[in-house]
Amino acid sequence: MSYQSQPAIPVKESRVTLLRNPLLNKGSAFSAEERKAFQLEGLVPAQIESINIQAERCYQQYKEQKTDLDRYIFLRALQDENETLFFHLVADHIADMMPILYTPTVGSACQNYSHLFRKSRGLFIAYPDRDKIGDILKQTEQENIKIIVVTDGERILGLGDLGVGGMGIPIGKLALYTACGGIDPATVLPIVLDVGTNNENLLNDPLYMGWHHKRITGDEYYSFVDRFVQAVMQQWPDVFLHFEDFAQKNALPLLKKYRDQYCCFNDDIQGTSAVALATLYSACKTRKTSIRDQRIIFLGAGSAGCGIAEQIVSAMVAEGLDEATARGQVYMVDRNGLITDDMQDIPDFQKKLAQPLSKLKNWKSQDQGFFLLDVVKQSKATVLIGVSGQKGLFTEEVIKTLASQCEAPFVMPLSNPTSHMEAIPEDILKWTEGKALVATGSPFSPVVINGKSFPIAQCNNAYIFPGIGLGVLAAKATRVTDNMMVAAAYALADTAPAAQNKGNAILPSFDDIEEVSYVIALAVAKAAVKDGVAEQKDETALLALIKGYYWHPEYRAYQLA
């Protein structure tokens, strides 16, 4: 059905006010009737253009930008001017523009946020305004908010505390909710909780746009976040609240506090674990083995790493292992070495993943404790996952040792941005003579070794969270359950070319992301129904609801309200 054939949308704005509204602006695509009705004659060039012609012009301008950061600025400016055209352009070039809109380029944009600032988008809720949160939420002109992405800017990618510069992350995530998951951009809202920053460079920068104050902590912090959550739920009780890039010391406690009360989700914990599980599952199918047979080392034992590990343990148990055996095959290594059950003061989320010291009595180490190379040598690992945020820790010796003990090692340096990766794919494949399967957090072109091309899977949360959001909204889910996340992971794996005998890629192309999102959304919605957290209970109607909910970036006709 043609979008122009749908009923006209009633619009109150006219003249320059209409042209300045990015959700309604069509620029040169306003029809002759609309130009007359909305008093636009003379305010736009005479030629009436299609959105395809507009997008072609924009793509030419995009290609003329000299750097990735310039391309990011160009796209953000287009989004602030005309959202429909922006998303139409992105949809036509999704694989090309994904690294610009999100990792790795968004990291540079966040680091330079206050210096690159052009136009405000979203809401900035600062601690000094804690008594006004409800009023601030009402400042947005959007009434029907369905998804909020919120950050406090403390752990932006692997770059650390960027304060209000973290706003680039909610903006980028929501752009992907729309570009990959079909969420109407009129129903999303990015928010930064400005609780100060401990980044001295920002505090000493006169151009820094956030609250010039050290971060609040403890009860003050949690009380502020709670005020925010309660105000959001009062304003939009059915909203899907997405927490993003909170420091690990706060991320898991916040998720635990709110996940059984509201429809909320932490992408760093749940999204990362789901896409990692999907990638591992797909890799195992490619190698004709199973997850239960893997011995897995994690370098990085924060909330993200432990979240992935817990998902993998659950998958191993689902494949027939008892829980103790499954946990015995997962090794968590952080800056202090292998986490063992004799360590004092380790966080609660690490305790269940600590290896019993009694099991390691025959292990040898070169120092006190067992560090990465020690663990690789003695665990006989088959999988190595990096979520440390530290560059170069997967050394040549580590990778060669892994490959010497395993016929087909699977290496996943997932840290973002690329400047913080544990190793780059080309090195991993050279060191293993092409034996390794490699998946990364950021995009990489295929690597050629001895004339053979090896695709590099991008283990990117953008595969997962847009489809989850679409499924949650279509099913009217009131919670996000563990079963919904597992369903998303296996649905993603089943869309991979390798799973369908259509190639050797262990994850699908982002060019196919709309169909991938449909598959994930349907799996998530069905899991929500089975878990009793969906208001929509007719499973046979779910796919039609999902496709009906999907917003496509095409212009609609307007009529004067």
Domain segments of the chain as ranges: 3-98+554-560, 119-262, 270-460, 464-549
Whether 177 and 465 have beta carbons less than 8 Å apart is answered as yes
- At 141 the pLDDT is 84
Give residue 450's pLDDT band: very low, low, confident or very high (50, 70, 90).
confident
- Note the pLDDT tens digit of each residue in 33-58: 999 999 999 999 999 999 999 999 99
- At 2 the pLDDT is 43
70 is in an annotated binding site: no
| Residue 372: strand, helix, or coil | helix
322 is in an annotated binding site: no
- Name the percent of the chain lying above pLDDT 90: 87
- At 442 the pLDDT is 85
In the annotation, is 257 catalytic?
no
Catalytic residue among 26, 146, 173, 526: 173
CATH hierarchy code of domain 3-98+554-560:
1.20.1370.30
- Classify domain 270-460 at the CATH superfamily level: NAD(P)-binding Rossmann-like Domain (3.40.50.720)
CATH topology of domain 119-262: Rossmann fold (3.40.50)
Q: Which pairing describes strands 337-338 and 330-334: parallel, antiparallel, or unpaired?
A: antiparallel
- At 504 the pLDDT is 77
One fold for 3-98+554-560 and 270-460: no
Give residue 5's pLDDT band: very low, low, confident or very high (50, 70, 90).
low
- Size of the chain, expressed as the number of residues it contains: 561
User: How many Å apart are CA 444 and CA 276, to the nearest integer?
Assistant: 17
- At 1 the pLDDT is 35
Distance from chain centroid for Cα 62: 24
Whether 11 and 561 have beta carbons less than 8 Å apart is answered as yes
Does the pLDDT of residue 402 top 60, yes or no? yes
155 is in an annotated binding site: yes
* CA dihedral sign of residues 439, 440, 441, 443: negative
Give residue 366's pLDDT band: very low, low, confident or very high (50, 70, 90).
low
H or E stretch covering 457: strand 457-458
- Note the pLDDT tens digit of each residue in 462-485: 999 999 999 999 999 999 999 999
User: How many Å apart are CA 250 and CA 84, to the nearest integer?
Assistant: 36
In the annotation, is 173 catalytic?
yes
Catalytic residue among 26, 62, 72, 102: 102
245 is in an annotated binding site: yes
Average pLDDT, the chain: 94
Q: Which pairing describes strands 452-454 and 457-458: parallel, antiparallel, or unpaired?
A: unpaired
- At 418 the pLDDT is 87
Average pLDDT over residues 88-110: 94
Name the residue among 117, 112, 121, 115 with its Cα closest to residue 86: 121
501 is in an annotated binding site: no
